[in-house]
Amino acid sequence: MFGFIAARLVTAVFILLGIVVLNFILIHAAPGDPAAVMAGEAGAADEKFLADLRTQFGLDQPFTVQLWNYVSGVIQLDLGFSYRQQMPVAQLIWDRLPATLLLTSTAFVISIVIGVIAGVLAAQMQGTWWDTVISTVALLFYATPLFWVALMASLVFSVFLGWLPGFGYETIGANYTGLARVLDIGTHLILPASTLGLFFTAIYMRMTRASMLEVSRLDFVKTARAKGLRSSVIQRRHILRNALLPVITLAGLQAGQIVGGAVLTETVFAWPGIGRLMFEAINQRDYNVILGVFFISAAMVLLFNLITDLLYGVVDPRIRLTS
């Protein structure tokens, strides 16, 4: 188990390094001189200023030296400077990261829990109208753009019905403290987290259903039945436990989609996370912020992947034993 996790950690580090190099290449592949771009962002562009910028950021040095400087900077969590916001990018991201972690992890849990429950129900009621309803809903969810679902959800539940706040992280100017503040953030979280989470529910639902049906046909399930075990025990301990393995694999693969989806959800609901930060940076063409958020979101995906790997080890004893 330890060796397994260690191997995954090493891979994760290499992937992060790869992204840093990719970022570096992208900045240099961008049309125009990086110094001119930065000067444009800072709102001044005489020759002296450009030359200063080149020296300050080492742009007058050879390519390999620049690459080394960039990589070692990122390792020390220096993600560059945002001239638009007059702040280091790392600081900007650090301030916004908790909101995004709260949103994505809530959505992640919602999608898996509801998806697995609905999938188990659909498998147990195979062929009934409930099964059809679940499959149809899944098909519709696949076809719907996330940002549109978010807009429609805020329209219905916030504008028309007035049940929930449609934007922001907490009530501005309310200055709640303690439990009141937690509750306030919680109510603001409901719409964005359930939109983002429910959007991915369909995938887990279908996967759980298919996987449950497949496992229930295997020989060891027949043996369990023949032994006279109760059906609920077989469902839970024999079928579900095995059926969850592909679902967990899928959860790891979907992590990137959820983090990507956060950009859209946070944009629609004005949730002050790094997704919203990225949207603002797009409109201001603030490259350092865009690349910084990209790097951090990749790191988040790797973290989610690592968690699913650990879960895999918990659910499947073979992984714990073999490595």
Partner 1 sequence: MRGFWRRYSRNRGAVIGLFILLAVIICAAAAPFLFPRSPWSMVQRPFLPPFTVDGLMLGTDALGRDVLSGLFHGARVSLLVGLVSTVVALSIGIPIGALAGYYGGLVDDGLMRFTEFFQTIPSFALAIVLLAIFQPSLGYIILAIAIVSWPPVARLVRGEVLSLRHREFVEAATLSGQSNLRIIIWQVLPNALPPIIVLASLMVATAILLESSLSFLGLGDPNVMSWGYMIGAARTVLRTAWWLSFIPGIAIVLTVLALNLIGEGLNDALNPRLRSRTP
Interface contacts to partner 1, rule CB under 8 A:
15, 18-19, 23, 26-27, 29-31, 126, 139-140, 142-148, 151-152, 154-155, 159, 210, 213, 253, 256-257, 259-261, 263-264, 267-268, 278-279, 281-283, 285, 287, 290-291, 293-294, 297-298, 301-302, 305
Looking at the DSSP assignment, which residues form a beta bridge with residue 4?
A: none
To partner 1, the closest distance from the beta carbon of 164 in angstroms equals: 15
Based on CB atoms, which residue is closest to partner 1, 19 or 112?
19
Show Cβ contacts of residue 60 under 8 Å, excluding neighbours closer than 6 positions. 54
Q: Which amino acid, 225?
A: R
Q: How far is the CB of 248 from partner 1 (least distance, A)?
A: 16
- Asked whether 149 and 174 are in contact (CB, 8 A), the reply is no
Closest distance of CB 163 from partner 1, Å: 16
Query: How far is the C-alpha of 113 from the C-alpha of 200, rounded, in Å?
Result: 11
| Nearer to partner 1 among residue 21 and residue 229 (C-beta) | 21
Residue with Cβ nearer partner 1 (70 or 287): 287
Nearer to partner 1, 106 or 288 (CB): 288
What's the CA gap between 3 and 270, in Å, rounded? 42
Between residues 225 and 285, which has the closer beta carbon with respect to partner 1? 285
CA distance 170 to 156: 20
Residue 155 Cβ vs partner 1, minimum distance, rounded to whole Å: 5
11 versus 55: smaller Cβ distance to partner 1: 11
Q: At 112, phi and psi to the nearest 5?
A: -70, -50
Residue 240 has a CB neighbour count (10 Å cut-off) of: 21
CB of 216 to partner 1, least distance (A): 10
284, 84 contact by CB (below 8 A) = yes
Tell the smallest beta-carbon distance from residue 229 to partner 1 (Å): 23
| 206 phi and psi angles, rounded to 5 deg | -65, -40
Widest CA span in the chain: 86
Least distance CB 227 / partner 1 (angstroms): 25
Decide whether 185 or 310 has the Cβ nearer to partner 1: 310
Cα–Cα distance between 259 and 169 in angstroms, integer?
18
Q: How many residues does the chain have?
A: 323
CB of 25 to partner 1, least distance (A): 10
Please tell me the distance from the alpha carbon of residue 209 to that of residue 138, in angstroms, as a whole number. 12
In angstroms, the CA 288 to CA 272 distance is: 18
Q: Which is nearer to partner 1, 30 or 45 (CB)?
A: 30
Helix axes 287-315, 241-269, angle to 10 degrees: 160
